[in-house]
Amino acid sequence: MINSRFPASHDSLNMGAKKNFNVIEALDKLFDGSEGIECPAIYRGQSYWIQFETAQIVDKVKEYFRLMPTARPAAFYLIGTMIHEDFNCSFLEKERNFSALKYFKLHDAIEQIYSHIFELLQTASNRSDTIDILKWGINLCFDLIHFNQRRMNVAKPSLQAETFKHTESGARLLQFLEKVFIFMLQTYPDESFYTLVIFSDTNRPVEERQFEWLMIFFL
């Protein structure tokens, strides 16, 4: 889990397409790692994904999964950065009258990616893949909460989690994870509960626990 502090956002946003923008070249750089993506940079105003069309992002993710199944962890990291950017943009919409039209293509792409991942779960994934996807999603929830703590204006982890559940991006991620968890219950019941238990933080004071809201949601 990322432990860095929530970075202050800048007033100026790098949201526009660059001159002589080459879609294929730009996407390739993001996916092959030659243009590194850092989550803190997203919250400082750097954009990576919103300049692309929905189909361009979705097709690239599908291609990545199809051609390089062993590199799925890298793909999930990239998808996580898309969700961070979408989450940040949704807050900017409220904070700075930032137009939702500027990121609706990314918003739609994430919806389609969730559907594609779930389809892969049902048709082309094994036990280990399913567990990894649930772990990835839960860790992503925690990271999204961490990076947006100041915006939530609540101190207790349980209240932060509750606020997260009522954001559009957070709710969509949790809905996706609920589908994954139900699939695990039906297919790998023992592993489904074990995967949740490994996130237990019962050694911490009750008011500081982040695990209980997760258990309540899934169970």
Query: Which pLDDT score is estimated for 117?
Result: 93
Taking the C-alpha atoms of residue 167 and residue 91, their distance in angstroms, rounded to an integer, is 9
Query: Which pLDDT score is estimated for 82?
Result: 94
* Residue given tokens 């932060």 in the structure block: 160
Query: Which pLDDT score is estimated for 86?
Result: 94
Query: Which pLDDT score is estimated for 15?
Result: 40
**pTM score, whole prediction:** 0.82
Q: Where are the beta strands (DSSP E) in 17-114?
A: none
Helix (H) or strand (E) holding 58: helix 54-67
Write the burial class of residue 86 (CB in 10 Å: 0-12 exposed, 13-18 middle, 19+ buried).
Answer: buried
Query: Which pLDDT score is estimated for 71?
Result: 73
Query: Which pLDDT score is estimated for 194?
Result: 82
Query: Which pLDDT score is estimated for 35?
Result: 67
Query: Which pLDDT score is estimated for 34?
Result: 58
Buried b (16+ CB within 10 A) or exposed e, 16-30: eeeeeeeeeebbeeb
In residues, how long is the chain?
Answer: 219
Average pLDDT per block of 10 residues along the chain, 219 residues long: 36 41 72 77 90 90 79 86 93 78 90 94 84 90 89 78 87 93 90 78 61 65
Query: Which pLDDT score is estimated for 43?
Result: 93
Query: Which pLDDT score is estimated for 1?
Result: 40
Residues 6+ apart with CB under 8 A from 168: 90
